[in-house]
């Protein structure tokens, strides 16, 4: 029985003459892990920006979250409604400890979600399996994977309905990707819907229940991961992307 938590209809984002996201429509079902793939520059991050309003919403189309239109809403309202994202770049506050970084996310999001910020912070750090030493470490001193875990904890502290991840596997070793895979499945099993962007297909194929492929800002195809990667147009889009 379909139960869409997020619905996009004709979402478009233009920058001057460039159409970075071109008439994109899809639905994410409550509880699933939904993957978005595509070559570099295909509009994946811009699509996330359009959904979360950070730093901007779409120039056209509709985004509906839990039955409410959110395109055009302020980013903090969208976040507090239960839609949290991570970014491609590293965590923002190199001098703060891991615990302080997650607590900041908690102060931003927890007031409306009703959780006590300290408890929520510790719980989010438990989820990403940070021990006490790492909780007190400066963000700048964490490993690449540690920073990714911290970004995920900073999003989870607000108890989101949807966790959106922008290329979380980039820069990670194979064992770290396997650990990330297990972490995402664990988070999903607690009832969090996950929307994940990856340029590298391995992680996406292993965690996603459905996969959408973007090319030049538009939806090339969408379906079960095993069907999507066999689509000759997908092979062409990736190989056509030269160094990709
Ligand atoms: P991906 O995340 O798939 O690599 P992006 O969404 O970052 O792709 O970029 C899609 C296209 O939009 C690219 O051509 C990029 O140069 C362009 N673009 C992204 N952000 C901006 C911006 N703020 N201003 C102008 N062009 C942008
Ligand atoms: Mg990107």
Q: For residue 110, report the distance from its CA to the centre of ligand 1, in Å.
A: 31
Q: Which residue has 């940070």 as its token pair?
A: 130
Alpha-carbon distances, residue 159 vs 28, 82, 110, 117 (angstroms)? 18, 7, 8, 11
Does residue 213 contact residue 23 with C-beta atoms inside 8 Å?
no
Q: Which of 20, 165, 166, 201 to probe ligand 1 with, by most ligand atoms within 8 A of CB?
A: 20
**Tokens coding 200:** 């590298």
Q: For residue 240, report the distance from its CA to the centre of ligand 2, in Å.
A: 18
Fold of 1-82+194-244: Rossmann fold (3.40.50)
Q: Per-residue confidence at 236, pLDDT binned at 50, 70, 90?
A: confident
Point out which residues pair with 84 in neighbouring strands.
163
Alpha-carbon distances, residue 88 vs 85, 167, 186, 222 (angstroms)? 10, 6, 22, 23
The predicted structure's pLDDT at residue 112 = 47
Nearest-atom index, ligand 1, CA of 21: 10
List the chain domain ranges.
1-82+194-244
CA distance linking residue 52 with residue 49, whole number of Å = 5
pTM score? 0.92
Site residues for ligand 1, CB cut-off 6 Å: 15, 18, 20, 38, 40-46
Q: Which of 16, 36, 38, 43 to probe ligand 1 with, by most ligand atoms within 8 A of CB?
A: 43
* pLDDT tens, residue by residue, 106-160: 666 555 454 557 888 999 999 999 999 999 999 999 999 999 999 999 999 989 9
Pick from 190, 194, 204, 208: nearest CA to 238 = 204
The predicted structure's pLDDT at residue 86 = 85
CA distance linking residue 127 with residue 136, whole number of Å = 16
**Tokens coding 176:** 């770290």
């Amino acid at each position: 029985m379909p139960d869409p938590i997020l619905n996009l209809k004709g979402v478009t984002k233009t920058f001057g003459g460039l159409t970075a996201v071109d008439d994109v429509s899809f639905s994410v079902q409550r509880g699933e892990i939904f993957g978005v793939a595509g070559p570099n520059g295909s509009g994946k991050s811009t699509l996330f920006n359009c959904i979360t309003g950070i730093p901007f919403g779409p120039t056209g189309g509709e985004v509906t979250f839990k039955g409410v239109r959110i395109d055009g809403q302020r980013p903090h309202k969208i976040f507090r409604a239960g839609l949290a994202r991570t970014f491609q770049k590293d965590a923002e506050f190199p001098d703060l400890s891991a615990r302080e970084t997650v607590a900041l996310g908690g102060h931003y999001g927890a007031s409306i979600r009703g959780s006590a910020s300290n408890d929520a912070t510790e719980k989010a750090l438990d989820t990403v399996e940070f021990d006490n030493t790492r909780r007190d470490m400066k963000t700048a001193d964490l490993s690449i994977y540690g920073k990714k875990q911290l970004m995920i904890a900073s999003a989870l502290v607000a108890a989101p309905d949807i966790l959106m991840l922008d290329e979380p596997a980039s820069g990670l070793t194979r064992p770290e990707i396997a650990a990330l895979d297990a972490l995402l499945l664990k988070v999903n099993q607690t009832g969090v819907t996950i929307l994940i962007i990856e340029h590298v297909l391995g992680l996406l194929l292993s965690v996603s229940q459905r996969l959408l492929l973007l090319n030049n800002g538009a939806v090339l195809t969408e379906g079960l991961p095993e069907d999507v990667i066999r689509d000759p147009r997908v092979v062409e889009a990736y190989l056509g992307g030269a160094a990709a």
